[in-house]
């Protein structure tokens, strides 16, 4: 049996022992006579795995085999290798290798496994089945190629951050060389003789390079020219950086563990991952108008000393669609087909150059839609895509993928939220139908940081929506029929429990509202301190003050309608005293008097909680964008983003945390 045949059999075995994804579940509906569709309670992900003990050599073979497979028959892409291999190209080249030359490997020799003393005669090339990392003498960094069906393609250059000084490759040392891992220590020499050493490591089947600071290096420069960069946000909305809108030559971005470079053409993305978001990300820009590009990003190694750079490549791996205000309410059949099933995210452009992030629905064979979540599980959406949330009210869900992969958008037609400008689509996470060998953004983060740290970054506990007590509309829909049937005497214990649940619900939502209002006041105090300390930033800080004051404006508009928890408690006590055992002919009418009042309180509380969340999300995103426009705001922006995440944690179910 050949090595490739063994690889194929092991690939099939590896694919067979993994099963991911919970069954679909229908979201419960509450509300008056189905008038409102409430967001689903978050479903916990269920991941089933088979755990067993196998020899380490077999495990390495499994890794190699899994990496060797593909969605179409298990054949490797042109130029790919099984496992990890290190090559000596025999000669150095003054320019980056073409994809064709990398695929042919003409004149190359493989460095024998476990040989750590080899002296390279030419370019050194570290490869697995997905990536090739090329080290050329006097090059400014390691050149990373993706390996796909169309052959290898240069995607990014990874170089030590040298403070603007020119640094070129000076020497190489092999740190590890076997089928399970390959690592090379590359030393670059800068002007003045300063030496900067970075370790580059590849493992089987992984679409990322692990880099590690080994000497004299504080950061990594990722050269991946692009117009758009995305900072994914799991609590609010992504930050989308459009180079055409940033006039500066260099600026800082908030470091939130992940940064996506959306490479031109929609066929590749470069992802940077850091474990500890200790320092800002520095980006440099050049060019004019729509030809203006983000040239690269610089990330600090920090205490962990590692930065990972992943490449997701393939036709239509990301897409951009320009949306006009005239298209509101219209169905747009995109010139884009999803290349694989996934949790595709759409970053819509809204007013003020802000982003509104939505997960695309996946249409099922029965006509219903599945809405995926980063927490696992899927919510079922009806065939008409009709949806209700606080703030937006009733609307048709605006983004979905048809069974054949056809992407569709239908921009909202509502005064509350208007879309206009570039809408960006990319694969955020997996769904049950995602093939084993396919990688998404979250897959790269999990495989680099590990499951535990990844859950910490996602703040899984803080993501879950909370539901306490019984919604006021449910209280009405329970009590009114009891009194209509004249069963209040025999069902007194049930009524008592409903009343207790009512107060639990009102106090919970009111608590969320008060947290938001307190956040607004604390933010205004903080911004006032910043204005005194930095008078040169008064104008910029005023933009954030306006957004923070919106919380008080929203609260004042509904103060009289939401009453106070004490007012609601007094109404409950009056109900107990006058109606609990009352059986007069007007009992139902009196009951309705109370239940409608409670529904008014509850409905206004729900809307206010949703409005407050929207205001905080806008403030959080605007802080990041202002930091990009003016790096002097970095300290204030990062503090506001930190505080905003705390108040956004553990939302009430009616806040509509994720549309």
77-to-73, 82, 149, 205, 513 alpha-carbon distances in Å: 11, 11, 5, 12, 54
Handedness of CA 330, 606, 378, 649 (dihedral sign): positive
Average pLDDT for residues 287-302, to the nearest whole number?
92
User: Using CA atoms, how far apart are residues 420 and 575, in angstroms rounded to an integer?
Assistant: 50
Three-state DSSP at 127 gives strand
Fold exhibited by the domain 85-313: Beta-galactosidase; Chain A, domain 5 (2.70.98)
Dump pLDDT digits (tens) for 4-46.
Answer: 444 433 433 433 333 333 333 333 333 333 333 333 332 233 2
In the chain, where are the structural domains located? 29-47+323-426, 85-313, 472-655
User: 379-406: per-residue pLDDT in tens?
Assistant: 999 999 999 999 999 999 999 999 999 9
Please, what's the b/e burial string for 277-307 (b: 16 or more CB within 10 A of its CB; e: otherwise)? bebbbbbbbeeeeeebbbbbbbbbbbeeebb
Task: Name the pTM for this structure.
Answer: 0.86
- DSSP bridge partners of 221: 159, 298
The answer to whether residue 593 scores a pLDDT higher than 90 is yes
Q: Residue 355 pairs with which residues in a beta bridge?
A: 349
Residue of higher predicted confidence among 532 and 653: 532
pLDDT value, residue 75: 52
Given pLDDT bands bounded at 50, 70 and 90, which one contains residue 165?
confident
Q: How high is the pLDDT of residue 162?
A: 78
Q: What is the pLDDT of residue 550?
A: 96
């Amino acid at each position: 049996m050949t090595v490739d045949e063994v690889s194929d059999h092991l690939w099939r075995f590896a694919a067979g022992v993994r099963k991911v994804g919970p069954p679909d579940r229908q979201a419960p509906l509450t509300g008056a006579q189905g008038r409102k569709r409430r967001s689903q309670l978050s479903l916990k992900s269920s991941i089933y795995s088979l755990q067993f003990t196998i020899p380490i050599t077999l495990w390495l073979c499994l890794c190699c085999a899994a990496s060797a497979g593909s969605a179409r028959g298990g054949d490797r892409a042109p130029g790919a290798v099984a496992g990890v291999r290190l090559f000596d190209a025999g000669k150095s080249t003054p320019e980056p290798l073409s994809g064709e030359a990398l695929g042919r490997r003409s004149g190359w020799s493989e460095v024998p496994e476990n040989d750590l003393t080899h002296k390279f005669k030419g370019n050194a090339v570290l490869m697995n089945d997905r990536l090739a990392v090329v080290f050329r003498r006097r090059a400014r960094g390691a050149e990373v190629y993706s390996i796909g069906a169309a052959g290898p393609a240069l995607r990014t250059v990874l170089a030590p951050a040298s403070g603007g000084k020119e640094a070129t490759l000076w020497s190489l040392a092999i740190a590890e060389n076997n089928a399970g891992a390959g690592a090379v220590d590359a030393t670059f020499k800068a002007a003045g003789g300063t030496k900067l050493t970075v370790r580059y490591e590849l493992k089987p089947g992984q679409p990322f390079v692990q880099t590690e600071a080994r000497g004299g290096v504080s950061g990594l420069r990722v050269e991946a020219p692009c117009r758009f960069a995305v900072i994914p946000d799991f609590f609010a909305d992504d930050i989308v950086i459009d180079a055409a809108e940033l006039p500066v030559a260099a600026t800082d971005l908030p470091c939130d563990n992940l940064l996506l470079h959306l490479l031109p053409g929609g066929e590749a993305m470069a992802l940077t991952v850091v474990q500890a978001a200790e320092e800002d990300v520095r980006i440099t820009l050049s060019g004019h108008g729509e030809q203006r590009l983000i040239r690269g990003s610089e990330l600090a190694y920090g205490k962990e000393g590692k930065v990972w750079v992943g490449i997701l490549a393939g036709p239509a791996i990301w897409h951009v669609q320009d949306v006009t205000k005239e298209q509101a309410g219209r169905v747009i059949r995109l010139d884009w087909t999803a290349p694989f099933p996934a949790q595709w995210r759409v970053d819509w452009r809204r007013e003020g150059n802000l982003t509104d992030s939505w997960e695309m629905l996946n249409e099922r064979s029965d006509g219903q839609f599945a809405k995926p979540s980063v927490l696992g599980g899927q919510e079922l959406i009806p065939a008409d895509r009709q949806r209700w949330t606080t703030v937006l009210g009733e609307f048709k869900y605006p983004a979905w993928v048809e069974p054949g992969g056809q992407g569709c958008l239908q921009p909202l037609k509502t005064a509350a939220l208007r879309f206009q400008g570039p809408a960006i689509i990319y694969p955020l996470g997996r769904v049950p139908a995602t093939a084993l060998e396919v990688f998404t953004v979250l897959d790269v983060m999990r495989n680099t940081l590990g499951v535990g740290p990844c859950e910490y970054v996602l703040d899984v506990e803080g993501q879950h929506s909370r539901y306490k007590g019984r919604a006021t509309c449910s209280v009405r829909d329970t009590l009114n029929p009891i009194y209509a049937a004249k069963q209040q005497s025999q069902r007194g214990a049930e009524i008592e429990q409903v009343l207790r649940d009512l107060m639990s619900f009102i106090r919970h939502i009111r608590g969320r509202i008060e947290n938001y209002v307190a956040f607004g006041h604390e933010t205004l105090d903080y911004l006032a301190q910043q204005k005194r300390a930095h008078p040169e930033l008064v104008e910029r800080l005023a933009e954030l003050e306006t957004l923070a004051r919106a919380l008080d404006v929203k609260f004042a508009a509904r103060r009289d309608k939401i009453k106070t928890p004490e007012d609601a408690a007094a109404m409950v006590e009056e109900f107990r005293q006058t109606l609990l055992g009352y059986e007069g002919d007007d009992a139902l009418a009196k009951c309705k008097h109370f239940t409608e009042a409670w529904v008014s309180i509850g409905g206004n509380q729900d809307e206010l909680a949703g409005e407050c969340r929207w205001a905080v999300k806008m403030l959080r995103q605007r802080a990041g964008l202002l930091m990009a426009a003016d790096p002097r705001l970095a300290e204030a922006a990062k503090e506001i983003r930190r505080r905003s995440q705390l108040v956004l944690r553990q939302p009430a179910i009616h806040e509509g945390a994720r549309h």
